[in-house]
Structure formats: C-alpha cells, structure tokens
Structure 1
Amino acid sequence: MTAAPAPSALPAIVLVSAEHLEEMRDAFARYRDEYAVLTASSAAEAGELAAAHQAGGAHVALFVTESVLPDAHVLEAFGRWRVLVPTARRMIAAHWDRFLTDAPALRPGMATGKYDAYLLLPRGTRDEEFHNAVTDLLSDWGSTVPDPEVVAVKIISPRRDGEVMAIRDYLDRMGMPYRVYDPDSEVGVAVREHFPEDAAYPLVYSATRATIAGATVRDVATTLYGVPGAIAVADTVDVCLVGAGPAGLAAAVYAASEGLSTVVIESEAIGGQAGTSSMIRNYLGFPRGISGMRLAMRARNQALRFGAEFGTGWPVAGLDVEVSPGVHRVRTDGGDVLARAVVIASGAAYRKLGVEPLEDLVGAGVYYGAAMTAAREMEGHDVVVVGGGNSAGQAAVHLARFARSVTILVRREGLAATMSSYLISEIEHNPRISVRPHTVVSDGGGEGRLAWLELTPVGPGAGEPERVEAGGLFLLLGASPCSDWLPEAVAVDDDGFVLTGRDVPREFWDGDLPPASLATSAPGVFAAGDVRSGSMKRVAAASGEGASVVSLIHAHLAPEG
C-alpha cells in the first residue's frame, strides 16, 4: 500500500491503477506544482487516501482510474468515491491495451452520471487533447469550490443576508472569482481602510474597479461592466440586443462578426437562465458537457472579440418604436440606446410560487432558479427542487453534490414528458435524488431562514399534507416571458410571449405576406429565444434563432433597390 502523504493544502488528484501506475503518474506530472498528486493501487486505498486528505482540511478535485481495478468494478468504485467526495470529478484513463475492449461496457456509465470522462491514457508527452479534458474537469470542479485561489473581488460583510447572496450569485454567474470576509478578519480590516469609517455593508472591493459601499447587485454590475448610456459607440447603432442569454449572445456573435455595430443590454448576469445551469450535457460540440456560466462567458468573449459592447445590471424600461425614420430607442434607467434594429431576447423568468410565507424567505433558503452560490451552502441539508424541466434536473444533480438529499416535486406522474432522458437516467442512478410526483409545496417557514415545508398531494386520491424538514427550496416553475417593457406596437400572445412571423396578427401583414419568421409586428424589431411565442425552450434552439435573426437584420438594413 502507498503511504499516505504528509498533509497538504493543495487540492488532490487521486490516481488509481494496479498495473500501470507509473505511466499514469508520468501523464499527470505537469500538475504536481498546483495539485497534490496521490497514487493508489486499489479502490479501497484510493478511498483511504482521499479521506485522509480531506481530514487534513484539503479538497479532492479529481479521481482518475484505469478501466480495471483489482478489488472492485470501476463503476462500483466511482459510487464509493462519490459518497466520500460528492464534489470531486471522476474519469477513466484507460490503458491502450484495454481502451477499445472496455469502452462498450463502461461508456454508458457516463450517460447516467457515474463518471465524467472516458479517455485514452497518453502514450507520450504533450497529449494536449487528453490534458484539455483534464483541465476542463478541474475547471468545472474549481467553480464549485467556495474559496478560490485567485480572488478578483472581495466582499466584506458581517452578515450573509439576501443582498450578499445576490451579489455572490451574480459574480458566480459572471465567472468572477471572489471571497466573502468578516470585517474583523485580516483581509476585512485591510479592505476597510479603502472605505470611510461609517461605510455601510456590504463592502465590495476590486483592485481594478471603484470601491462600493452598501453594495447592491446593480452597483456591482455597473461598476464592473458599465451602464448602457456609457457605451462608447456611435449615436445610432445597427442593432441593440435586449438580453444576453443564448439567443442574445448568438445574435451578438454573428451580428458583430458580420460588421454590424452591436450593443447588448442584460438586466442580470450574462447567460440568462441558461447561465445558471450547472452542466449542459447535450449541447453540440461539448462531449463532456459545459456549465451554463462557461458557455455564456465563452460566447461573451467571442462577441467582444468582434466588437460587440455589453451593459449589464440595467433592466430595459421601455422600447420606443420609430422615434425617427428607421430608428428605435431602447430605454433603461442607466441611459438609452438608439438602434436601427432591435432584437428582443429577454427570455423568460421562473413563475412565482405564490406561498406568502416562503416568498418572505427568498434569499434565505428559498431561491428562484438554480442559485449556484446557494448550492454550496446546502451541505448536510435536505433540499427540495420544484419543477420538471431540464433546468430543474440539472439543478437537482448539482445540488446532490452538496445536500444530504434532494427531492424533486412535480405535479405530473413523473419527469418523462418534460425532461431529457439523459437527465432522467442520471437522476435515477443518483442515490441522493428522489422524485415525488403529484405533489406541490403549500406552506413553509423558519426563524429568519427556511427550516420546514408543507408538501401537499394533488390529483385523484390525494392524501393529507406532510410537514418535512428542509434547508433549501429551489423553484424552477416554468416560463413567464420578460415582455412587460414592450409597447403595444409589438404584438404578444395571451401569455405575454412575443408573436413573430405567421403568428403576427393579420393587420400587421404586408397584404398577404406575413413578417419574416423571427420578425415582430413592428418593422425592424425582431424576437428570438424563450421570449418568442412557440419557441422550443432549449439552449441550442435559442442559439440557432439568435444566429438566424442576423440575416433578417441585414435584409432590413439593406438599402432598397
């Protein structure tokens, strides 16, 4: 047995192999400066090493095993390690002698979430495809660690209240590493020197931005990324995109890359609802999956590269159609943007639960959406997720890395009608997650923080309400369009979703010719993504609509003749 290492503050990569440990150790040599690379020859020994490392106060980031172990089936070993370290990523680095023969039996385990990657152990140096996969997994793991090594923003507060949680969630979704410090801590005392003595909490400090006292999410967003009125573009831009979810981001990339002056306004964090997804596994081109935050940040950086401008933290207050010939005005409290074309990509928000005692606890154990930041604080708690869509499934899988148990509540018989099968399979194989059909949340409470919920059966033969302990309630209750800022000139359906193409009322048609597929009832105003009536409510579909709308914008802007 390999001797346990001396305690290390470095996060660990645990390598497990009975026959090829030397080759595996060589493959991970480049990580030794920043990770404690531990080696074991069996599943049991790997578990002991991981437990000892955690007992010393350090993290375990990644388990890497070959495809065959002497004391356990590899998938069984992953199950043990998952219980021991739920946050660690898990991968198989199969030896080249067994890579093809073992793959058919092992690869289905990825679909059920038992592990994250099946790779060929490198046969030489600089196998960058292999290391790209490893660093992707380590990067995803790093986003779940509450105390990052690199800190771009420091938050000082004596309380972890709803405002602090909202700021943390915004920074998480923007991919901005931060830490929260007590005012009397060493860092807290040093940061307070940059503020007046009577400055209100929370204090937000960044070495490259202005300091903020009594900070709100809007303060942080505008300090880090600016306001729409401060965007340095010509008086009138070619296109203004309202919303930076998948549809808005795709439109920004294509519009800016094709030479259109492009401004994007987002009321919250870049990525929209999709940005809160812990792992999207069915997005084309990402075989190991990608978090919504990382997908959004890559798309934003891509759009910035082509010259698009972004403003976040300012909800759009209104749209004035044709303030002058061919020009529209997008209004925000932080400034206006004039544009020859406008794309409505403001998406949809989760519907309210409507249980007043629980609405009073939003931010204190009750959250709308996946609330990635709050997930890390659910360790040891029983958690309830309400919703049956993919977002709810992704939230449940992520929460199961931390919570003692996760219960998904749905009104229906089950998840099959509303959730992708890959997620259903992953949920079924996760011992921490259970599904409770025909059930709603009817009440709940706690002293300043959620402590209990009342769950009520619905439908034929419904039983009596049941009171259960709960440390977290995550509400993903379907879509309510973010369209209340639109004028009457933009037609919407009975639920507020924007009508486009043939769905636009006939009085807005050009004779017998309806508007283009993504065009609204107002010339020069388009809609894409979840806010559009009839949309598929999928990340890939929204991205496709965002890309497609750019050709319609070109046609609209093209001179006649």
Structure 2
Amino acid sequence: MERDKPVIVLVGGEHAAVIEQEFRARYDRDYRIESVLGFAAGLDRTRGLVAEGAQIAMVAAEHVLDEGTSIEFLRQVPAVVATARRVALVSWEDFSGALEALRAAALEREMDTYVLIPRGPRDEEFHTALIELLSEWGWSVGRPLVTVTDVVAEPGDRAAAAVRDLLDRMGFPHRALEPSDDEAQELIEEAGPGARLPLVRTFTGRVVSGATAATAAEAIYGGFDEIPEGVIADVAIVGGGPAGLAAAVYAASEGLATVVVERDAIGGQAGSSSMIRNYLGFPRGISGMRLAQRSRIQASRFGARFFTGRPATGIEPGPAHEPEHQHVHVRGAQFCARTVVLAMGVTYRRLGVPAVDDLVGAGVYYGAATSMAREMQGRDVFVIGGGNSAGQAAIHLAKFASTVTILVRRHDLAETMSAYLTREIDATSNIRVQPRTVVADGGGDGRLEWLQLENLDTGEDTKTSADGLFCLLGAEPDCSWLAEGVALDENGFVLTGRDVPREAWVDGNPPASLETTVPGVFAVGDVRAGSMKRVASASGEGASVLPLVHAHLARLRAREFGA
C-alpha cells in the first residue's frame, strides 16, 4: 500500500516540477513522494507526516526557497525527524555562489550532502548520491522487507540480541520474531522437539537451536567443516578487519593463495561503526559494515577464501620435513601457510564494574551495537569513551535516543577524537559531553535502569537514570594464543621491526618493518604495537605487508631451489 512506503519529502522552489519529475521517475515504485512548495509548507508537511506515523527516509530541499535557503531549512529538520537523510538540491546557476556555504553546512552536519539538480536524463551521479543515502537509511532505520534470516526469541533475550548485532555487522537482513508470532510457530515446529530459544533459520534453511553469535556465524558461513585437508596457503591472514581485508585484497590480486580466518563478523570493530566519514574515496561516508562487505567481495573475486565463525587457537612451525610452513590451528581444523599475517585487531576493554557487566546484553553493550540503536528510541543513553568509535556511536544513537551523554576521563574530546566528529557532536543538540567522569556502579531489575557516576576531580557521586550504556573504552589485544616465540610489548601488543628486542635480531639486523620475531609471521593494524588505531592506517598496513610477504616467499623458493 502507498501509505506503508517510506516517504521522500521534496521541498521545491523555482525548479520544483523538474525535481519532482526526476524523483518520481526513479523512486515512485518503492517510496511515497510528497512534494510541496516553499519553506513553511515543507516544515508543516514534514510535521504532519511524522504525526501520521510515516517513516520519512529523506528530506530534499531546493537551495533557493521562498523564505530562506536549503541550509536554513534542513537545519530545522532534525527537530522534526532526526533519522531522515537531508539533501540540498542546487541549481547550476546557483551553485557557484552557494558552494562555500554548502561546504560549511555539510562539514557542520547541517545536511548529509548537496547535489546539483539534473539538467537532463540519466544523471547517474545525482542518483548514486541519493541511493547511497537511502540505502544507509534503510539499513540503520527502516526494517527490511525482504529478509534472509529469522531470529525467534523472547523479548529481551541477551543471546538473541548478540545474534542480531552479528547479523547487522554481517550485512544480513533479518526478522526478529517472538514465539507467539505465526511465522515463529512454523519455525519452532520445523526445529522439532527439544528445540531451545533463540532459534535462527539461515538463508540455507538450516535451523540453529539455542543459538549464539558464534553458532549463528558458523551456520551462515558454513563453518570450518569446509576447510579441506591438505590446504597450503601462501598467506594465512588471521582477522577480517580493515587490515586483514586489505592484506587479502592485495595478496589475492597478486596471485597468492590467500586464506582469511575470522573469529567473529568480517569487519572487526570497524564493521560496527555506523558511519566512517574520513575514509579516502567516500565523500559522503560509508558504514563500517558496507566497507567490510565490499572489501570481502573484492578479495573473494580475486580468489581469497574466507572462513568465519571460529578463532585461531595457535600457530606453530611445521615439522622437519616442512620447515617452510606455519601450521595454523583453528577449533577443529588445521592448515598450512608459508606466511602468516596477524590482523586480529583488538577488543574493547571491560568496564570492571561487576554490577554493570552483569547486565551486558540487557541495556549494557560493548562496542557500537548499531542494531540496538533502534531500541533506544526516546530513551536516555550513555556512551563511555573518547575515541572516534565512541563519537560515531554517539552520533548514531542521537538519531533515536532522547539524550546521549558521552562520559570521558579526560578534560575534553579534542585530545583523542578527530575534529570532524567533535564538530558534529557540538552541533547535535541532544548530545552532551561529561568530562572527568567514570561509571562507579549501576543496576536495574533485569536490565539497566540506573548508573552511579563519579567525578574524578571532586570525588562526588551522582545517581542518574539510564536506559542504555555503550562502552567503547579503548583497546585490548587478544594475543594469548600466540606461540611464545612471538614477542609482545608490556600491554600485549605484537612487536615488529626495530621494536623487537635486540636479542631477537639476526646477525645484528632487525626483522622487516612489519615482521615479528618469527620469520614469515607479520603483524598489521591495531594488534601491532605502535599502530595508529585508525581504519585508514590499518588498511594501509594491510597493503604494505605484501612486499614483505613476497620477499619472504622469494627466500623460501631460493632455499628450496638451492637445496
């Protein structure tokens, strides 16, 4: 039905007819197009649609309106509907004079983007910009009409919440069903007697009983049963975050037999980011999930093989008859690799407040947990952390929550967060920053209801109501499974190159820049000591490791030929 469709609101001026015709030609089937003339009429119609309960996907305003500009108009939209994408439509004759103001407005996040009004048919650049925004809206706000996975669970089920978060990060559209739903009853019968909630039915038809994030991932990607015996890879990459994905793309594109193992969802921490705006080549930004999925597809097309759902458990040198191999162990499987790239990334540091950690999955989340943002509609939410991931999470949550409070130990965010994010936070009216503050306690009846906050300067405690707590507390590497021969720093990060202890240097020479104390084993991205802990730098290291891999493989070939 027409009224069930998401709405695109068009606010026109002199070019209203052209704009409406262009939008209807492309989007009339899937969206309800509401076109009005003028500034005041645009705001009134948008308010009316919200009152009707319509889902507004986009508000697009012509730059020159009767009572102001698109910038002034779009600045008022979030107070009416915070989740709608905001676009300024600029005529060619107005573009030069408006460009400086439009750039400033986009920088201050008063709009999502600005585009030139098409002057003829098939303006694909215009529609690419709009489709990207509508796609991100549909994933983060709208509910998918076509799903590939069903999750059946009681409301508030923590395991189901973890599964849904994983599915969001994987890029799998899914339905959340309660046991009483008709569709759920069919699935429960299919699962058979003794089935336990949550139930997950994957796109292959497989039903997982008592599902966890790990078992759901294994079922979706086929698990590790598909690793055939006798696999020998030129490069084994442990970790599927930006560093591992970049290494996979470049290794596979250069003809190396490439295997990637990932314990969780492809994308790592970056995959949970709602929007990365400072990544090269994406002027309108890109979500971490989409960046990860595109990178995976790119690497797969070059021949890289991905195995997702179980962690690596060990790396050890091959036996005497295979001295050039490293044996990579995963749960229930093993394969050989001539080189290994460690790209496991890091995990978020735990809060260390037992009463709060007891509520993980019930109002308390580690990481951005973008799938939970929709459930924070109209609620009071807290974010702990001063890095870019915390800033991105806060901005995304602010589209749904009544209030978002960022808690940081430092005096302000500028010390640890990119300037573009601090500007956006400053411009978001329902976000506030509370410096020099930590969580001392918290609790609730089955889910988070309150927090006790401590001011680090005065020692004063304040109890406040809280519906959600998202902890993005900094990085902790998980390198406990690595062989003793891989040197770590005092914080557990992998040492490489000249940072390796001198006693491990060979003939007075340090390992290669990204090489560990074990020849042929490299480390890139966040898990490496001294790395920048940014998506772009991790991707750069993943690409930069390939010449070192080639050099090591060349030495192995020379040794074999010499033998």
1:74 partner amino acid: S
What's the CA shift string for 1:104-140, capped at 9, x where partnerless? Answer: 1121111121111111011111111111111000011
CA contact (8 A) 1:14 1:63 kept: yes
Question: Within the alignment, does 1:250 sit opposite 2:246 as a pair?
Answer: yes
- Cross-structure match for 1:63: 59
Deviations 1:27-49 (CA, angstroms, capped at 9, x unpaired): 21210000001101123322332
Conserved? CA contact 1:227–1:335, under 8 Å: no
Larger deviation, residues 437-446 vs 156-165: 156-165
SS at match of 1:189: helix
Alpha-carbon distance between aligned partners in 2 of 1:40 and 1:429, rounded to the nearest angstrom:
28
Change (3 A) 1:502 1:209: farther
SS in 1 for 2:470: strand
* Residues 340, 557 of structure 1: 8 Å contact kept: yes
1:9 matched residue in structure 2: 4
Checking the alignment, whether the CA contact within 8 Å between 2:368 and 2:389 is kept in structure 1 is yes
- Output one character per residue of 1:265-318: Cα deviation in whole Å (capped at 9) or x when no partner: 111111001111111111000000001110000000001101111111212222
**Alignment partners' CA distance in 2, 1:468 and 1:301:** 45
SS at match of 2:208: coil
2:424 alignment counterpart: 426
| Partners of 1:366 and 1:473 within 8 A in 2 | yes
Residues 137-178 of structure 1, C-alpha deviations (whole Å, 9 max, x = no match): 001101113521111101112233110000000000000000
Equivalent of residue 160 in structure 1, options 156, 163, 167: 156
Q: 1:190 aligns with which of 183, 186, 195?
A: 186
Tell me how far apart the structure 1 counterparts of residues 333 and 59 of structure 2 sit (CA, whole Å).
50
Range with greater deviation from structure 2 (307-316 or 161-170): 307-316
Superposition deviation, residue 71 in structure 1: 2.8
Q: CA RMSD in A?
A: 1.5
1:74 aligns with 2:73: no
SS of aligned partner of 1:453? strand
Between 102-111 and 161-170, report the one with greater CA deviation: 102-111
1:84-483 counterparts in 2 under 5 A?
84-145=80-141, 147-232=143-228, 235-323=231-319, 324-459=322-457, 462-483=458-479
Contact 2:61 2:74 in 1 (8 A): no
Larger deviation, residues 234-243 vs 204-213: 204-213
**CA deviation after TM superposition for structure 1 residue 7, in Å:** 6.5
TM-score (norm 2): 0.96
1:163-215 alpha-carbon deviations (Å, 9 max, x no partner): 00000000000000001112221221232332204311111113424111111
Query: Can you list the C-alpha shifts for 1:212-248, whole angstroms capped at 9, x where unaligned?
Result: 1111111111111123352358521111111000000
Contact 1:457 1:465 (C-alpha < 8 Å) held by counterparts: yes
Cα-to-partner distance string for 1:506-533 (whole Å, 9 max, x where unaligned):
2221212111000000011000000000
Paired residues of 1:9 and 1:57 also in contact (CA < 8 A): no
Q: CA deviation at 1:405?
A: 0.7
- Tell me which amino acid in the other structure corresponds to 2:98: D
**Matching residue's letter, 2:527:** V
Counterpart contact for 2:437–2:454, Cα < 8 Å? yes
Cross-structure match for 2:14: 19
Where does the alignment leave 5 or more consecutive residues of structure 2 unmatched?
Answer: none
What is the percent sequence identity of the aligned residues? 52
CA–CA separation in structure 2 for the residues paired with 1:413 and 1:298: 38
Return the letter of the residue paired with 1:218: A
CA contact (8 A) 1:490 1:522 kept: yes
Pairing 1:521–2:517 present: yes
Name the CA distance, whole Å, in 2 between partners of 1:334 and 1:137. Answer: 42
Higher mean alpha-carbon deviation, 206-215 vs 430-439, is at 206-215
Query: How much has 1:68 moved relative to structure 2?
Result: 2.1
Output the TM-score relative to the length of structure 1.
0.96
- Could you tell me how far apart the structure 1 residues matched to 2:470 and 2:122 are? 43
Q: 1:233 to 1:556 in 2, by over 3 A?
A: farther
- CA deviation string 1:70-95 (max 9, x = no partner): 23443332232112111111111101
Distance 1:229 1:492, change over 3 A: farther
Change (3 A) 1:190 1:46: farther
What is the distance in 1 between the residues matched to 2:148 and 2:220? 11
2-structure distance, mates of 1:130, 1:415: 35
Between the aligned partners of 1:184 and 1:44, the Cα distance in structure 2 is 45
Q: Quick check: 180-189 or 371-380, which moved more? A: 180-189
Please give the secondary structure, in 2, of the residue aligned with 1:179: strand
The structure that is helix-richer by fraction is 2
Q: Is residue 209–residue 224 contact of structure 1 (8 Å, CA) maintained in 2?
A: no
| Alpha-carbon separation, structure 2, partners of 1:489 and 1:503 | 15
Q: After the TM superposition, which of the residue ranges 78-87 and 53-62 deviates more from structure 2?
A: 53-62
Q: Tell me the SS of whatever aligns to 1:143.
A: helix
Query: In the alignment, residue 161 of structure 2 is paired with which amino acid?
Result: M
The separation in 2 between residues aligned to 1:211 and 1:547, in whole angstroms, is: 38
